[in-house]
Amino acid sequence: MAEVREETPPPPYVAKAHPAGRRLIWLIVVLALLGTLLGLLALGLQPRTSVTLQGKPAPPFAITAINGEFAGQKFSLADLRGHIVVLNIWASWCVECAREATVLEQAWRAYRPRGVWFIGVDYLDTDTAGLAYLKRFDITYPNGPDIGSRIYQAYRATGVPETFFIDRDGIVQHVQIGPIGQTQLDALLDRLLTQGRSQP
Amino acid sequence: MFGVLRVALRCLAFSSLWVVLALAWDAPGMFAQTPSPDEINRVAKMLSCPTCAGINVADCPTETCAQWRAKIGELLAEGKTDQEILEYFAARYGDHVLQVPPTRGFFLGVWIVPIIAILAGLGTFGYLAHRWTKRPTAIESPAVPSDAVEDEYVKRVEQELQSWQK
C-alpha cells in the first residue's frame, strides 16, 4: 500500500503554479511599485514653500519691464549680481499688495543710490490692470509680468504679496510673506547693506 | 461739357479709391463687434480660475476672473479664435489655467498615466483569469492515469482476498 502511494506523482499544477522565478518577478514588480509610490509620497510631503529658500541661492529669473523709464528693458538676476535685489511678487487684484505699494516705492527711491534694486513681478494680471496699478501708486522701479507664472513657481510663492531679499551673492536672506512695513523694510536693507561685499 | 464730366468722373474714381483703401486698412476694426457675455463665457468656461480651486473663469466672482473675462472680450473683439485665446492665456499664465490639460510637457502624464493604468489593470485581470480557469484542467489530466492506480489496488485487494479465502 505504502509503495503505491509513494509512486503516485503529484498533479502537474502543483509544481507549475508558483515557480520560484515567477514569484521573484512578482515580488520585484510589487516592490518597485511600492517604492515608486513611497517616493512620490515623500516628494509630495516635502515642504515647498518660499520660506524654505532662505539661506539658499535665489532661483534665476528674467522679466521685461513694462513701466516708466525701464519699459521694454530686460532684467535678470544674473545681470543684477553684486547688487542687493528686492523681488516683490504682486497683483493688481491683491488688497494686501496695495497696502505695501507706497512703502516699496519710497524705499526704492531711498535705496536706489546705494545700489539696491527693486524688481516687481506682476502675477496673474492682465497688462491693462497691471499698468493701471503701477500708475495709481506711481511705482517707478522695474515691473514686469510673470510670463507662464514661472517666477512665482520657481520661488515657491504661496500667494501675493511675497517679497524676497537677495544679497549681493545671490542668496535669499529673507522671505516676507504678506505686506511689509517701512520699519522692517529699512532694517532688512540696512542689514544687507552692512554685510561684507563678496569678492567678484 | 465733356471735359467737366471727365473731371467729375476722375474725382469720383479718386475719392472712391481712397474710401476703398481706408476700408481695407481698418477692416478688422470696422467689422469687429463687441462680443456678447455668452461669447465671452464660452471661452471663459475653458479656463480655470487661477486663485481659487475647481471653478472656471466664467463662474468665478473674483476680481482676477473679472479682469480675465474683460481680456477675453478684448481678444474676441480683435477677431481671435477660441483656440488662439486659450493659447494666449496658457502662454501668459501657464498651462495650469486650462480646464482641459494640454498634451505636452508635464501634463502629458495626465493623459498617458490613466491609459497605462487601464491597460495594466486589464493585463493583470486577463492573466489572473487565465490562471484561475487553467487549474481544473490540470487536475483532470494527471500524468499517471487514475485507472492504472485503481487497477493496482484492485489487483492487490483481490490477491489478499484470495489468500484469505484459502
Residue B107: its chain A contacts at CB < 8 A?
Answer: none
Burial class (CB in 10 A: 0-12, 13-18, 19+), A30: exposed
pLDDT at B35: 95
Is residue A200 scored above 50 in pLDDT?
Answer: no
Name the one residue in this structure whose C-alpha cell is 471735359: B3
pLDDT at B102: 85
Residue B69: its chain A contacts at CB < 8 A?
Answer: none
Mutate to test the interface with B, among A1, A40, A126, A146 (most CBs of B within 10 A): A126
Domain check: are B31 and B96 in the same one? yes
Q: Model confidence over A141-176: pLDDT tens digits?
A: 999 999 999 999 999 999 999 999 999 999 999 999
Higher pLDDT: A93 or B105? It is A93
- With beta carbons less than 8 A apart as the criterion, state whether B34 and B77 touch: yes
Higher pLDDT: A78 or B128? It is A78
What is the pLDDT of chain B when averaged over all its residues? 82
Lowest mean pLDDT among A146-160, A162-176, B27-41, B119-133: B27-41
pLDDT at A1: 45
Residue ending a domain, among B100, B120, B136, is: B100
Q: How confident is residue B20, by pLDDT bands cut at 50, 70 and 90?
A: low
Contact between A92 and B68 using a beta-carbon 8 Å cutoff: no
Domain check: are B26 and B95 in the same one? yes
pLDDT at B47: 97
pLDDT at B135: 62
Is residue B27 scored above 60 in pLDDT?
Answer: no
* B5 part of a folded domain: no
- With beta carbons less than 8 A apart as the criterion, state whether B91 and A147 touch: yes
Domain check: are B95 and B28 in the same one? yes
Q: How many domains does chain B have?
A: 2
* B41 part of a folded domain: yes
* B9 part of a folded domain: no
Residue A149: its chain B contacts at CB < 8 A?
Answer: 50, 93-94, 96
Q: List the grid coordinates of A20.
A: 520560484
- With beta carbons less than 8 A apart as the criterion, state whether B26 and B77 touch: no
Residue A153: its chain B contacts at CB < 8 A?
Answer: 94
Domain check: are B35 and B91 in the same one? yes
Contact between A149 and B93 using a beta-carbon 8 Å cutoff: yes
Mutate to test the interface with B, among A36, A97, A124, A153 (most CBs of B within 10 A): A124
State the average pLDDT over residues A56-60.
98
Cα separation values, B19 from B14, B32, B58, Å: 9, 18, 40
Distance from the Cα of residue A184 to its chain's centroid: 23
Q: Model confidence over A97-150: pLDDT tens digits?
A: 999 999 999 999 999 999 999 999 999 999 999 999 999 999 999 999 999 999
Is residue A41 scored above 50 in pLDDT?
Answer: yes
Domain check: are B32 and B95 in the same one? yes
d(CA B69, CA B61): 11
- A12 inside 8 A of chain B by CB: yes
Name the one residue in this structure whose C-alpha cell is 505504502: A2
Q: Model confidence over B82-114: pLDDT tens digits?
A: 999 999 999 999 999 999 988 877 777 877 888
- A126 inside 8 A of chain B by CB: yes
Residue B92: its chain A contacts at CB < 8 A?
Answer: 145, 147-148
Closest CA to A108 of A174, A180, A194: A180
* B83 part of a folded domain: yes
Cα within 13 Å of Cα(B112), Cβ side: 8
* B10 part of a folded domain: no
Contact between A125 and B142 using a beta-carbon 8 Å cutoff: no
Is residue B32 scored above 70 in pLDDT?
Answer: no
pLDDT at B145: 59
Q: List the grid coordinates of B124.
A: 493583470
Domain check: are B128 and B91 in the same one? no
Which residue pairs from B103-111 have beta carbons closer than 8 angstroms and sit at least 24 positions apart in sequence?
none
d(CA B42, CA B98): 13
Coil vs helix vs strand at A77 = coil
pLDDT at A62: 97
d(CA B83, CA B75): 11
* B151 part of a folded domain: yes
CB neighbourhood size of B142 (10 A): 15
Task: State the smallest CA–CA distance between residue B34 and chain A in angstroms.
Answer: 18
User: Strand A116-122 to strand A143-145: parallel, antiparallel, or no bridges (unpaired)?
Assistant: parallel
- A129 inside 8 A of chain B by CB: yes
Q: Which residues pair with A64 in a beta bridge?
A: A74
Instruction: Give me the domain span that covers residue B135.
Output: 108-165
Residue ending a domain, among B100, B125, B140, is: B100
* B4 part of a folded domain: no
Of A11, A91, A129, the CB nearest to B138: A11
Residue B54 belongs to domain with CATH number: 1.10.8.640
